[in-house]
Structure 1
C-alpha cells in the first residue's frame, strides 16, 4: 500500500529519502544525495548504501537534493538545499527566502567532499557539462540557474577607456583579456595596433591563433601574437 506524505515524512529520518541519484558508468557505482542520510554510494551488486559524508567544512548536511556524476573523472557534484531547514521544513525555507544552500564536490581520487559554492537559495538539481568544464546548479527558491566553471581559462573581449598621454582625451583600446576560473587576469593583449579604436565584441584563441569579432568591420580577424 502506498504511504501518504505524512507517513513518508515521519519515516524519512529512519528510512532515508533519496532525492538525487547518479551512476558512474565505468565503476557501476550508484551515488545518492539523501535528504536525511547525507551523501551515499551503492557498490555494484549491492543493495545497501554506504554513507560517504554527512557534512562538509564542519557544517552537517541538512537537505541534500540534486546530484550528477562527471563520467570522465568520477567526481560527483551535489547540492545541500539548506544548512538550516530539513525536508519537512521545506515550506518554511521557501517562505523565509533561505539562502544557506551549497554546491559540493566529491573528489573521486581523494575521497573528500569540498564546498564549491555557498549562499545558494534553495540549491536543487545539478548538471555537469559534457566536457566537464562546468556544472550548472538550480536554485528553486531564487528561481535561477548558476554556472560554476570547473576548469579552463577564458579570453574575454574588453574595450578599455584610457586617457591619451599627449592630449588627455579618452581613447578606446580594444583588448583581449585572459582570465582563469577564479577571475585572476593571466594575460592582456592590446589590439589597438590592429584595430585602432574600433570596439571588439569577441576574442577567442584556438590552435595558436586569435580570432576577433568587431562591431564595425566587415571581416573576421585572425591574428598570431
Structure 2
C-alpha cells in the first residue's frame, strides 16, 4: 500500500512538472543576458558520447575532452576533427564501438575533470573509476597517480584543478558509497560522503580538505591561489574553501575554513571554469523544476524511492531527453552574483550542460548525455 501511495505521489509531481516547467529567471543579478543559439554548431564525438569537460593545452591547442568509452580525444581545429589522445585503462577490449558505455565504464574508465600542469605539460585526469591519473604531452596510456585503493578509497573521482605556481592538484571525490553509473543514488539518498582533496606531487601526500559534502563536483582555484570554489551539486550551491590565513577588513575570516559563495542556483551545478571576460562559468546539469524540487525535498523520500524496483538512472535518462533543460550561468568571482545566462530556448534546448569553457571568443559546451560537443561564437 505504501509503495502504491509513493508511486501516486511521484506521478502527481510529474504531472505538475509537465504543466509548469518553471521558466522563471534567476532572481538575483543586476545584469542579465540570455544567449539564444539558433545557429549553434554541434560537433559529433565519433564512437562515444558525453564530452563532460574541456581543457586547452599551454600552446592553445585543443580542446581535449573525455568520452564515455574511456578515451580522451583532442580537437584539431585546422582539420575539424577529433583524434585519439589518451586512454585511462590498458583494458580496451569491448570498450569502444556502439553499445551502452555506462555498463562498461567501470572497466573502461570514465574520464571527467581534466587539467594541464604548466611546468611539465602533463595532463591530469580525474577518472570516476580509476582515480587520479596523468599522461605526458604525447598522450597514450595514462598512469595512476592515486589509485582507488587509498586508505579511504576513491569511489567517484570527479573534478580537478592545479595550482600553476606549486603544481599541487585539487580534486573531488563525489561519494564514498555510490559510483558514477549510479550517481542518481547520490542525489536521491541524501548522501554526504563526498570530499574535497589535495595531492602534492612533491611530497606524494594526499590530504582531505573537506568532508561531509553532498555530491562535490567541479573545482576551481582562484586566480591568486587563496581559495577554491567547489560545486556542491545536490545542494545547488558553490562553496568557497579558504587556503591561506591572510585576511583583510574587506574579506574578514569566516568562522570556519569554508563558506557559501553562491546559493540557490537555478539548477544542479557541475563544472566550474573561469571566463576570460571575468567571472566564472558554472554548468547546470539540470534546471530546477517542481519535480526536481519535490524529489529533493527530503532524504527519506529519495531513499524510499531507491527501494522501489525502478531503474532510476534510466528514468532520469528518458526524462532528460524528453525535457532537456540544461543551462549555464556566469557568476561574478567576487560576489557570486549571476551576470549572464546561457541556455537554449524553444527547439534548441540541451539535455544537460556539464560545462562551458570559454576560449578565444568561443564557448565550448559539454554534456554527459550528448554524442556531440557544442561550439558557440560570442
Tell me which interval the TM-score lies in, with the shorter structure as reference length.
0.5 to 0.7
- What does 1:20-39 correspond to in 2, within 5 Å? 20-39=113-132
Distance in 1 of aligned mates of 2:149 and 2:247: 29
Larger radius of gyration: 1
Distance in 1 of aligned mates of 2:224 and 2:117: 15
Distance in 2 of aligned mates of 1:34 and 1:141: 20
1:122 aligns to 2:167 (yes or no): no
Show CA shifts across 1:168-187 (max 9, x none): xxxxxxxxx8899869xxxx
Task: Please say if residues 195 and 210 of structure 2, whose CA atoms lie closer than 8 Å, have aligned partners that are also in contact.
Answer: yes
Show CA shifts across 1:101-136 (max 9, x none): 000101132122211101110000000011111111
Shift of 1:142: 1.1
Which residue of structure 1 lines up, in the alignment, with residue 246 of structure 2? 153
Report the number of matched residues. 164
In structure 2, runs of 5+ residues without a counterpart are 1-45, 50-67, 69-98, 259-378
Distance in 1 of aligned mates of 2:211 and 2:122: 27
Distance in 1 of aligned mates of 2:257 and 2:105: 39
Q: CA RMSD for the aligned pairs?
A: 2.5
Shift of 1:46: 3.6
- What does 1:55-74 correspond to in 2, within 5 Å? 55=148, 58-74=151-167
Where does structure 1 differ by over 3 angstroms across 4 or more consecutive aligned residues?
Answer: 1-6, 177-183
1:7 aligns to 2:106 (yes or no): no
Task: Please say if residues 163 and 169 of structure 2, whose CA atoms lie closer than 8 Å, have aligned partners that are also in contact.
Answer: yes
Mean Cα deviation higher: 53-62 or 113-122: 53-62
Q: 1:45 to 1:3 in 2, by over 3 A?
A: closer
Task: Please say if residues 130 and 148 of structure 2, whose CA atoms lie closer than 8 Å, have aligned partners that are also in contact.
Answer: no
Q: 1:181 to 1:74 in 2, by over 3 A?
A: farther
Q: 1:57 to 1:147 in 2, by over 3 A?
A: farther
Q: 1:46 to 1:178 in 2, by over 3 A?
A: closer
Q: 1:178 to 1:105 in 2, by over 3 A?
A: closer
Which residue of structure 2 lines up, in the alignment, with residue 77 of structure 1? 170
Secondary structure of the residue that 2:181 maps to in structure 1? helix
1:103 aligns to 2:148 (yes or no): no
Shift of 1:43: 2.1
**2:137 alignment partner, one of 27, 33, 44:** 44
Show CA shifts across 1:176-205 (max 9, x none): x8899869xxxxxxxxxxxxxxxxxxxxxx
Shift of 1:139: 0.6
Higher normalized strand content (fraction of residues): 1
**1:94 alignment partner, one of 187, 191, 196:** 187
Higher normalized helix content (fraction of residues): 2
1:17 aligns to 2:110 (yes or no): yes
Secondary structure of the residue that 1:68 maps to in structure 2? strand
The structure, 1 or 2, with the larger RCO (C-alpha pairs under 8 Å, 6+ apart) is: 2
Task: Please say if residues 194 and 215 of structure 2, whose CA atoms lie closer than 8 Å, have aligned partners that are also in contact.
Answer: yes
Q: TM-score, normalised by structure 1?
A: 0.66
1:134 aligns to 2:179 (yes or no): no
